[in-house]
Amino acid sequence: MSDYGSDDFMLDDSEEGFEYSDSDGDGNGEGPLAEGGSATGTQPSQAQHTQTQTQGEYSADAAFDDDDDDYFMDDSGFEPVLSRRNQRKPWEVDFKVYAQDGLSAKQDAMVSRLEPLLALSKETTTLLLRCYFWKEEPLLEGLLTDREGTLAKVGLPEHPPSPRIETGNDAFVCEICYCGGGDERYLTLWCGHRFCSDCYRTYIASKAQEGESWRIRCAAPKCKTLVGLEPARLVLAGDAAALARYEENLTRSFVNDLDTFAWCPAPNCEYAIECQVPRSAWATTIPTVRCQCGKAFCFGCKLDDHTPAPCYLVDWWAQKCHDDSETSNWIKANTKECIKCKSTIEKNGGCNHMTCRDCRHEFCWVCMGPWSEHGQSYYSCNRFDEDSSKNARDSVSKSRAMLERYLHYFTRYNNHEQSARLARRLLAATEKNMEQIQREHTLSWIEVQFLSEAVDVLSMCRSTLKWSYVLGYYMLSDNQKIIFEDNQSDLEMATEQLNELVENPISEDGPSIEEFKRIVIDKTTYVRTRWETILADIIAGLQENRWQFEAE
């Protein structure tokens, strides 16, 4: 999609994109702090450490001076189409994927930026930043108001001496291994405590094994001085595995300590994601990010992509489903509720004269009215229309209706989840189909791509539909909800039609391959357009508080 490089019309796009993120109030327009070495490219490339992406599309904010593309400027016919394709969609957010070395570069950049500003050594700056969870403002404020106190916090002087491993001190005895003498190599931290370098190596290596890094303190009892990165690296120099572990912990703590960074939750994935959407915006924006490894997840709750339902609704829903979904079907089919205390009662035999075990209320199983009014007509209830039994039924049916309402939404939610799973299987089948069509109709590989594209669109729609039912469940009824549901049912219908088309691609008496291809492409385009419209509308609706959501 970015084969055209970047032209002036793409500059427009990225500006629009940034405008959007600024309206979030996240200040994304300024971009990440240290762009230094990080490459933002127009071509997907493994070689780059970091990439700015908007939902898998590589952003085009680099290389504006690319002369080769000038002729596109004249070809105004392409312009609207291309700009629409590269524009960030309203439901997408800016994010960046970092590999390990990209993370190190990012940390270095943050330190070097602040180092001259603070007039402190690199080591001290690094430790201070880490102590302040990489938040520059409170750190600067702390240093301005109480420089000494703030430095005391990390237990480091402004310019700590470079650590050296020394020998030749006959009086030296290491307090850890009790070895000593002139041959013993030892390290003195600036707090004055000295231990032999072997013991320090074992000490730091064992702490690193526990996941510690910069928080490791001097080995002397009760000493609060941080060992610091430079001395640690110095003593670990002989132990490559421990050093690697230590460095890994440093990076790990960097990502964990920053609110704007998170690890990709996919198993064995080592990428980290930076996303500037603030926590306060998570109720109206769904910060969906896509890792280099392909995993799409929500930056807020780290669960799988749940666009367009905001995190808090997903949380409510997860709890609700956890409590209810398995049992509620059975309860609905087999039980009634006591009119008085709402205990759930299963009638497993006997007559219609029920006595609630919890509140001792006596009632009739058939009409749900109080038993006392049944008088002589035991065993055959003919009191259906009496007021008291009617009221009783009303209250029961109300709570049943709530259950049924939940099941309505849950069944649809669940159905889309299962269909999405089937869609993945469909993808495998589709690939086979594509090969078959290729063979039978002598088409090129690129000419049968329409099928896999259709399946992609299908999966996206399934996921969106699934979560839209969660939105619907908590949405209070009003005219706006009716519009929402109309949109939802439009997309649902179109999705089902597309699904049916793709599932039975070619039949003997069906349309010709050209005709079939045209139908699928048309339908795919239509579904995609519906999908985009609905997502954009939902996000806009969330941001302008168009709907009211209520927990139960």
**Secondary-structure percent of the chain, ordered helix, strand, coil, rounded to 5:** 55, 10, 40
Phi, psi of 345 (to 5 degrees): -125, 130
Report in angstroms the alpha-carbon separations of 273 from 41, 62, 260, 295, 297: 17, 20, 8, 11, 10
Q: Which of 272, 257, 268 is nearest to 302 (CA)?
A: 272
Residues 281-300 as x/- pattern, contact with another protein by CB under 8 A: --------------------
* Per CB under 8 A, 241 contacts another protein: no
Q: In this complex, which beta carbon is closest to another protein, that of residue 222 or of residue 432? A: 222
Least distance from another protein to the Cβ atom of residue 53, Å: 41
Least distance from another protein to the Cβ atom of residue 160, Å: 21
Q: In this complex, which beta carbon is closest to another protein, that of residue 177 or of residue 540? A: 177
Contact criterion met (CB below 8 Å) for 467 and 304: no
Q: In this complex, which beta carbon is closest to another protein, that of residue 203 or of residue 246? A: 203
| Long-range contacts, 170-173 (Cβ 8 Å, 24+) | 172/196
User: Which residue stretch of 13-21, 37-45, 172-180, 302-310 sits at the interface with another protein (rule: CB under 8 A)?
Assistant: 172-180
Q: How many CB atoms lie within 10 A of CB 492?
A: 19
Least distance from another protein to the Cβ atom of residue 179, Å: 5
> What are the structure tokens assigned to 379, written together?
């065993």
Least distance from another protein to the Cβ atom of residue 216, Å: 11
Interaction residues for another protein, span 4-63 (CB under 8 A): none
Q: In this complex, which beta carbon is closest to another protein, that of residue 221 or of residue 350? A: 221
Least distance from another protein to the Cβ atom of residue 168, Å: 19
Q: In this complex, which beta carbon is closest to another protein, that of residue 193 or of residue 393? A: 193
Q: In this complex, which beta carbon is closest to another protein, that of residue 205 or of residue 277? A: 205
Contact criterion met (CB below 8 Å) for 172 and 180: yes
* Per CB under 8 A, 220 contacts another protein: yes
Q: What is the dihedral of CA 379, 382, 385, 387, to 10 degrees?
A: -40
* Per CB under 8 A, 165 contacts another protein: no
Q: In this complex, which beta carbon is closest to another protein, that of residue 179 or of residue 521? A: 179
DSSP β-bridge partners for residue 336 = 345
* Per CB under 8 A, 257 contacts another protein: no
**Which of 75, 77, 144, 222 touches another protein by CB under 8 A?**
222
Q: Which of 132, 158, 149, 156 is nearest to 227 (CA)?
A: 156
* Per CB under 8 A, 364 contacts another protein: no
* Per CB under 8 A, 502 contacts another protein: no
Least distance from another protein to the Cβ atom of residue 405, Å: 45
Phi, psi of 354 (to 5 degrees): -100, 140
Distance of CA 352 to the CA centre of its chain: 53
Q: Residue length, the chain?
A: 552
Least distance from another protein to the Cβ atom of residue 163, Å: 18
Residues 120-159 as x/- pattern, contact with another protein by CB under 8 A: ----------------------------------------
| Long-range contacts, 164-167 (Cβ 8 Å, 24+) | 165/197, 165/234, 165/235
User: Which residue stretch of 74-82, 216-224, 366-374, 389-397 sits at the interface with another protein (rule: CB under 8 A)?
Assistant: 216-224
- DSSP string for residues in 52-101: EEETTEEP--S-TT-GGGGHHHH-TTTHHHHHHHHSPPTT---EEEE-HH
Could you give the CA distance from residue 490 to residue 163 in angstroms, rounded to a whole number?
69
Q: In this complex, which beta carbon is closest to another protein, that of residue 199 or of residue 229? A: 199
Q: How many CB atoms lie within 10 A of CB 442?
A: 8
Least distance from another protein to the Cβ atom of residue 187, Å: 14
| Rg from Cα positions in the chain | 33
Interaction residues for another protein, span 91-110 (CB under 8 A): none
Number of residues that bind another protein (CB under 8 A): 18
Q: Could you say which of 351, 359, 367, 461 is catalytic? A: 351
54-81: string of b/e by CB count within 10 Å (b at 16+)? bbebbbbbbeeeeeebeebeeeeeeeee
Q: In this complex, which beta carbon is closest to another protein, that of residue 220 or of residue 321? A: 220
Least distance from another protein to the Cβ atom of residue 147, Å: 29
Interaction residues for another protein, span 173-212 (CB under 8 A): 174-179, 195-196, 198-199, 202-203, 206
264 is catalytic: no
Backbone torsion region of residue 408, taken as left when φ is above 0, otherwise alpha when ψ lies between -120 and 50, otherwise beta:
alpha
Q: Residues interacting with another protein, by CB under 8 A?
A: 174-179, 195-196, 198-199, 202-203, 206, 219-223
Residues identified as active-site: 351
